[in-house]
Amino acid sequence: MEATISYAVQVRITPRPGILDPEGETIGRALGALGYDGVSDVRAGRLISLRLEADSAEAAQAAAAEMCDRLIANPIIEDYAIQVEEDG
Amino acid sequence: MRFAIVRFPGSNCDADCERAVVEGIGHEAVYVWHKDTVIGDVDVILLPGGFSYGDHLRAGAIARCSPIMPAVLEFAGGGGPVIGICNGFQVLCEAHLLPGALIRNRDLRFRHVEVILRVERTDTVLTDACVPGQRLRMPIAHGEGQYVADAETLAALEADGRVVFRYVDERGEPTSSANPNGSQHNIAGICNAAGNVVGLMPHPERAVSRLLGSSDGLVLFESLELATRGKVAAG
């Protein structure tokens, strides 16, 4: 099998709604301490980027989703969003 | 009886577990390396505490991909006792042997304190030498010990009596101030449906002698001995 196209994949992982995010809450409090009023719902996540060989953008997307379900994210506590771009 | 202690890079409670097994209850302990694929002839598997793989990605997430883990899953699937302590509990959750997840402590701090546990269930491999409601003192030492699960999972855990240990105060009440990490329902440890896989954040292996401040952890190792002996006799 020949995988022909290189894709740049970015996975954005965020705590699921309803899951406590002590880091986000702490950032929010610190922003308040700096005088930023009106800030709310601060959530802290992580960004993971990788390069992936695949036959198509759809295949890259599907492969990345499987990786997220199995390792990169923990679906019990985290949501993920995948962005796939052809890697020129 | 023989206990396997699985060592991952970053495990740091492996020697404490060995000592608890050998000196605490007088049994044999063997170390199994995470790159091994065979556990061998053992009666109990212990996943010790520590910081496997530097807690990269999420605590326990990388360890559960280790070559040894299929053998751990197989052993658990066959009804063998598998106990995860602290990081080991995190590994069991990541491996989906136990439901839910352990996230950063409520106050973001690494907490190293003595806690009081209330034994909620005495028909698991880790608690069958305990009496219902027994209180045990032992330390916790973790930064990511806040147990969370979705509402449905949590309700099922409670309905099925799969909460094995809860953080309680001196009066035995699961209060918010007795909860060191913000765990839902003050959960300190849970088991699978069959009761042969148990995970807990506190460290019984650090409470096996009065010199260590508490010997309350010993009863959990004695429970494993009792459970295994029963199985050996029956088998």
Tell me: the pLDDT tens digits for B181-194? 999 999 999 999 99
- Token representation of residue B60: 């326990």
Give pLDDT tens digits for B211-230. 888 999 999 999 999 998 86
**DSSP string of chain A, one letter each residue:** ----EEEEEEEEEEEPTTS--HHHHHHHHHHHHTT-TT-------EEEEEEEEESSHHHHHHHHHHHIIIIIS-TTTEEEEEEEEE--
Give pLDDT tens digits for B61-72. 999 999 999 999
* pLDDT per residue as tens, chain A (88 positions): 565 899 999 999 999 998 888 889 999 999 999 999 999 999 999 999 999 999 999 999 999 999 999 999 999 999 999 999 998 7
Q: In the predicted model, is pLDDT for residue B234 greater than 50?
A: no
What is the 3-state secondary structure of B63-100? HHHCCCHHHHHHHHHCCCCEEEECHHHHHHHHCCCCCC
Point out which residues pair with A14 in neighbouring strands: A79
What ipTM did this prediction achieve? 0.83
Contact status, residue B182 vs residue A23, Cβ threshold 8 Å: no
B203 an active-site residue?
Answer: yes
Q: Indicate which CATH number applies to the domain containing B228.
A: 3.40.50.880
Q: Domain count of chain B?
A: 1
Helix, strand, or coil here: B233? helix
Domain boundaries, chain A: 5-86
Give pLDDT tens digits for B88-136. 999 999 999 999 999 999 998 999 999 999 999 999 999 999 999 999 9
Helix, strand, or coil here: B142? strand
Contact status, residue A72 vs residue A1, Cβ threshold 8 Å: no
- Token representation of residue B130: 């305990």
Look at strands B101-103 and A46-54 and give their pairing: unpaired
- Return the residue in B148, B152, B176, B183 with the most chain A beta carbons within 10 A, the one to mutate for interface testing: B148
- Catalytic residue from among B27, B34, B142, B203: B203
Task: Name the pLDDT band for B146 (thresholds 50, 70, 90).
Answer: very high
Which domain range does residue B30 map to? 2-234
A26 in reach of chain B (CB within 8 A): yes
Give pLDDT tens digits for A47-64. 999 999 999 999 999 999
Mean pLDDT of all residues in B5-16: 97
A17 in reach of chain B (CB within 8 A): no
Mean pLDDT of all residues in B22-50: 97
The per-residue pLDDT for A20 is 84
The per-residue pLDDT for B229 is 82
- Catalytic residue from among B13, B17, B86, B191: B86
pTM of the entire predicted model: 0.93
CATH 2.60.120.10 fits domain A5-86: no
- Token representation of residue A48: 């993971």
Cα–Cα distance list, B175 to B7, B171, B213 (Å): 35, 10, 23
The per-residue pLDDT for B235 is 39
B112 an active-site residue?
Answer: no
Mean pLDDT of all residues in B162-184: 97
